[in-house]
Amino acid sequence: MYRVLVVDDDSDLRLTVASALSENHFQVDQASDGEEAVNRVRAGKYDLVLLDVNMPRLSGLEALKEIKAHDPSIIALILTAFANVRDAVEATKQGAYNYLEKPIKADNLVYMVEKALKANKMVKDIAMSSPIIKMPGGTEFVGQSVEMKKVFSVIDKLSRVETAVLIRGESGTGKELVASALHHNSPRKDNRFVTINCSAIPETLIESEFFGHEKGAFTGADQRKIGKFQYADGGTLFLDEMGDISMAMQVKLLRALQEKKFTPIGSNREIEVNVRIIAATNRNLEEMIKKNEFREDLFYRLNVLPIQLPPLRDRKSDIEHLSKYFIEKFNTQHRKNITGISADAMEAMKAHQWPGNIRELENVIEHAFVIETADEITSESLPETVLAAARAKGLTLGKVLPAAAFGAEASASELDDGDADIALSVANGALNLGEGLDESGFKLDFTKLDFQANKEEFEKRFLISALKAFNGRINQTALHANIPKKTLLRKLEKYGIVAKDFTE
Ligand SMILES: Nc1ncnc2c1ncn2[C@@H]1O[C@H](COP(=O)(O)OP(=O)(O)OP(=O)(O)O)[C@@H](O)[C@H]1O
Ligand SMILES: [Mg+2]
């Protein structure tokens, strides 16, 4: 809803204007002189101001100057008696959009206000527009910040060339999304986009994953296998988590990249391929090179065109757009109709540092989405990890509900196999480690019926509860929750959970 401020010392006129606009679904506030107007504009967010010219304390023209200095995107319409049209013309020179002659006619007023808002939106859209990045079905690449606009225009340029690209950025910043955008906007888009997650594949299998093997090439190779290099022929090969690849494999990879040829394990035939390489990492490759953990020649081969993704905390203006996008996405997925985010919740979200970046934001919104009972997401459904920064800043937040308010509702009979295990354990409290640990509860999300998503949700809640119980201490948590420390750390990173947030 657009917010409008009506400024006039004539209270009758204010009332007429305000009621005509309210009837047409504008949110209207009033001010009786220029000074009050300026104060209100500084305190709140207005899309449009209707300004009388002759007023006590501060005239309309002076107020206009200050309003525009505060926020040039606010539209000003001048209200003027016929005799003062000259002032109004002067006002348009100073940035007012147009003027309305008194007496004000309701139809004309609403028409002018709507027209001004529409024109303003068009100008804004054009100024804000970035190259159109096409994404594969259902996904969208959101970003209005200056930082992301730069990324979009780099993607736009790099999608048209064949050179290798190295995407860098913290966990959850959207590296995979960029890789997919590069492919889907390139001339290779009708061929395959193939991903190798270099950190997930055991060392013994990685060479075969890349280059394939002949039947009987090694113990266990009972079938011939085509490697991903060959599978991606004509398309794009995305080497995700590139920093995790072993030195031995780096040598072989470099050779394949240089010669565009490779030999499957156990074969004596070289295969030539035409693939475009995109690599991503969240590790500091320069440091790794110094420590002899990453080959410098491979680095230079891949780093011809680097894309650096900014962390979310450095582009907080995107939080609002991303939240809106995720809410729309989850509205469809969960068949709910959440209309937005409350002001205090948004403030808390802007105060938070988002160590897990967009993935963390997406998870937080989905979690809030599932438990929220109001029409919009309120601070009550945000996790404590997100609210901590807002509390430290002394922001006023709605009361936080104890998480136990949404207890386990899983019925094992509604699920099968793996799901049932989790459901049963949750329902029986078997996974609770002791007092205080079960407070988060876990509600299975049957609207989604997606095992992976529910499992991840459970893991997240479990880890948060365990950390709370052991005061954010990693070693203790790992010990008592019976989870290897390494796995615990990896999972915390995956979900953007910061152990220190739970230290009292
Ligand atoms: N700008 C964006 N607009 C919409 N969704 C986004 C955006 N950036 C990231 N996402 C979403 O956030 C999640 C994390 O993104 P992605 O997997 O690409 O991050 P990543 O940098 O590869 O993380 P990691 O280093 O942990 O692998 C995904 O679900 C992705 O779709
Ligand atoms: Mg990734």
38: CATH: 3.40.50.2300
C-alpha to C-alpha distance for 305 and 164, rounded to whole angstroms: 7
Check whether residue 199 and residue 239 sit in a common domain.
yes
* pLDDT, tens digit (0-9, with 9 covering 90-100), for 389-414: 988 888 777 644 333 323 233 333 33
Residues 320-361: pLDDT tens digits? 999 999 999 999 888 889 999 999 999 999 999 999 999 999
DSSP 304-337: TEEEEPPPGGG-TTHHHHHHHHHHHHHHHHHT--
Q: Using CA of residue 399, residue 404, residue 405, residue 406, what is the dihedral sign? A: positive
162 and 300 assigned to the same domain: yes
Rg (CA), the chain: 29
Site of tokens 């020649």:
297
Same domain (yes/no): 35, 94: yes
Distances 265 to 84, 218, 262 between C-alpha atoms, Å: 88, 8, 9
User: For a pLDDT cut of 70, what percent of the chain falls above it?
Assistant: 87
What 8-state DSSP symbol labels residue 431?
A: T
Mean pLDDT score of the chain, rounded to an integer? Answer: 84
Answer with the residue of higher pLDDT: 446 or 203: 203
- CB-based contacts of 397, cutoff 8 Å, min separation 6: 344, 345, 348, 379, 387, 390, 391
Count of domains observed in the chain:
3
Domain of 74 in residue numbering reads as 3-128
Instruction: Give the C-alpha separation, 285 to 291, whole Å.
Output: 10
Q: Is 137 part of a structural domain of the chain?
A: no
Is the link from the previous residue into 72 a cis peptide, with omega within 30 of 0? no
What the block records as the tokens of 308 is 């650096």
pLDDT tens, residue by residue, 430-461: 333 333 333 344 455 555 556 777 778 888 88
Ligand 1 site-directed mutation target among 135, 176, 238, 318, most atoms within 8 Å of CB: 176
| Region 204-211 average pLDDT | 91
The answer to whether residues 213 and 255 touch, using CB atoms and an 8 Å cutoff, is: no
- Separation of CA 226 and ligand 1 centre (Å): 29
Among 182, 358, 363, the mutation site with the greatest number of ligand 1 atoms within 8 A of its Cβ is 358
| pLDDT above 90: percentage of residues in the chain | 52
Tokens of 467: 């950390």
Cα gap 187→165, rounded to integer Å: 15
Which residue, judged by its Cα, is nearest atom 9 of ligand 1? 174
One domain for residues 303 and 329: no
**Better pLDDT: 156 or 84:** 156
Q: Domain end: 66, 93, 128, which one?
A: 128
Confidence band (pLDDT; 50, 70, 90) for 91? confident
- Same domain, yes or no, for 172 and 210? yes
Whether 28 and 165 share a structural domain: no
Average pLDDT value for residue range 374-381 = 91
Nearest atom of ligand 1 to the alpha carbon of 170? 25
Helix (H, G, I), strand (E, B) or coil at 271: strand
Q: Is the CB of 356 under 6 A from ligand 1?
A: no
Q: Alpha-carbon distance 32 to 52, whole Å?
A: 9
Q: Which helix (H) or strand (E) covers residue 480, if one does?
A: helix 474-480
| Residue 373 and residue 481 in one domain | yes
Q: How far is CA 284 from the centre of its chain?
A: 23
Same domain, yes or no: 287 and 212: yes
Q: Which of 14-18, 126-130, 287-291, 485-489 has the lowest mean pLDDT?
A: 126-130
**Do residue 374 and residue 490 come from a single domain?**
yes
Atom 26 of ligand 1, residue of closest alpha carbon: 171
Residue 139 domain-assigned (yes or no): no
Quick one: DSSP state of residue 501? G
Count of other CB atoms within 10 angstroms of residue 447:
12
